[in-house]
Amino acid sequence: MILTVTLNTALDLTYSVPALVPHTSHRVGEMSERPGGKGVNVARVLRLLGHDTVVTGFAGGATGAVLRDLLAALPHRPADALVEVAGSTRRTVAVVDRATGDTTQLNEPGPHIGPDEWDAFLRTYRELLDGADAVALCGSLPPGIHVGAYADLVRIARSAGVPALLDTSGEPLRRGIAARPDLVKPNADELAQLTGAREPLRATRDARRRGAHSVVASLGADGLLAVTPDGIWRAAPPAPVRGNPTGAGDSAVAGLLSGLAEGLDWPGRLARAVSLATATVLAPTAGEFDPTVYEELLPRVTVERHSPAI
């Protein structure tokens, strides 16, 4: 079983408009809603890849109830181990401009989490780790959660002998990486904020020196850069694509985590991650992907080793 943690779950709403024009009214052509938050997105992809998956974190209020109903209705649904809270789960709104293919994202902050609710989550987390092959710790922290929360969760996972992947940003990333997670997956902006370096290889190496066993940097349309004990790798899609990037990073995390759980080598993990991310960008609905497109892309991803073990 693979466990995913989403401390700040969300009800994801996607609106499609012919063209997004500031200061005007818009008629929405298409609208979709789905259970979201980074770890929930990762879990949905893992289930499509055939892995038993459990989601935990927080859900509350009317929005949280809708999220859980949508989660339960998925044809390939992960198990729901979300902890109920008094506050209401946040919503995120993605507005897709069909004229340009660009997406504008609006994210609410999330409910305030009290000390008793955090303690209830920690009890659930420790219990679930007992049967986990790997854990993904994903996304932002809701109000009320201390900034070192992910560092604590990484240490708990390490004590339980469960490999941990961390995908967050800002100070939670800075503190979490010092707890020595097995894998960290920042994007280029998160890397620059963490290290102060804009050059991808320098920044990724610097991030690894801060404590992570391996660092895989997401470089957008250029694919992934991995700095690992087995060497430095670059993986890229066969050609640049245009589309909605929402959820592509989460699909990449699912590819990396499933590869870790299955014991794939780094080229296999990276090829899977890039293929899933690219298929997600090409999908018409944010955060979705067509398994057929993924399978077609997988053998066409380029993975190159740039240096030996480090």
Three-state secondary structure call for residue 143: coil
- Look at residue 176 and tell me if it is in a domain: no
* pLDDT tier, 3 (very low <50, low <70, confident <90, very high otherwise): very high
pLDDT of residue 67: 97
Query: What pLDDT digit, counting tens, does each position of 161-190 carry?
Result: 999 999 999 999 999 999 999 999 999 999
- Look at residue 64 and tell me if it is in a domain: yes
Which helix (H) or strand (E) segment holds residue 39: the answer is helix 38-48
- Look at residue 11 and tell me if it is in a domain: yes
Q: Please count the CA atoms within 13 angstroms of the CA of 217 that sit on its side-chain side.
A: 27
Say if residue 265 is exposed, middle or buried (CB neighbours under 10 Å; 0-12, 13-18, 19+): exposed
Given the structure tokens 């690992």, which residue do they identify? 228
Q: How many Å apart are CA 309 and CA 305, to the nearest integer?
A: 10
- Look at residue 299 and tell me if it is in a domain: no
Domain range for 103: 1-17+30-131
pLDDT of residue 286: 59
- Indicate the number of domains in the chain: 1
Residue range 24-38: mean pLDDT, rounded: 87
Query: What pLDDT digit, counting tens, does each position of 243-263 carry?
Result: 777 788 999 999 999 999 899
Q: Alpha carbon of 59 to those of 108, 247, 254, 270: distances in Å?
A: 14, 20, 22, 32
Q: Taking 60 as the threshold, does the pLDDT of residue 214 lie above it?
A: yes
Q: What is the CATH number of the domain that holds 120?
A: 3.40.1190.20
The one catalytic residue in 12, 167, 182, 250 is: 250
Sequence-ordered list of residues with C-beta below 8 angstroms from that of 298, at least 6 positions apart, any chain = 271, 272, 275
Say whether 250 is catalytic: yes
31 versus 253: which is more confidently predicted?
253
- Look at residue 237 and tell me if it is in a domain: no
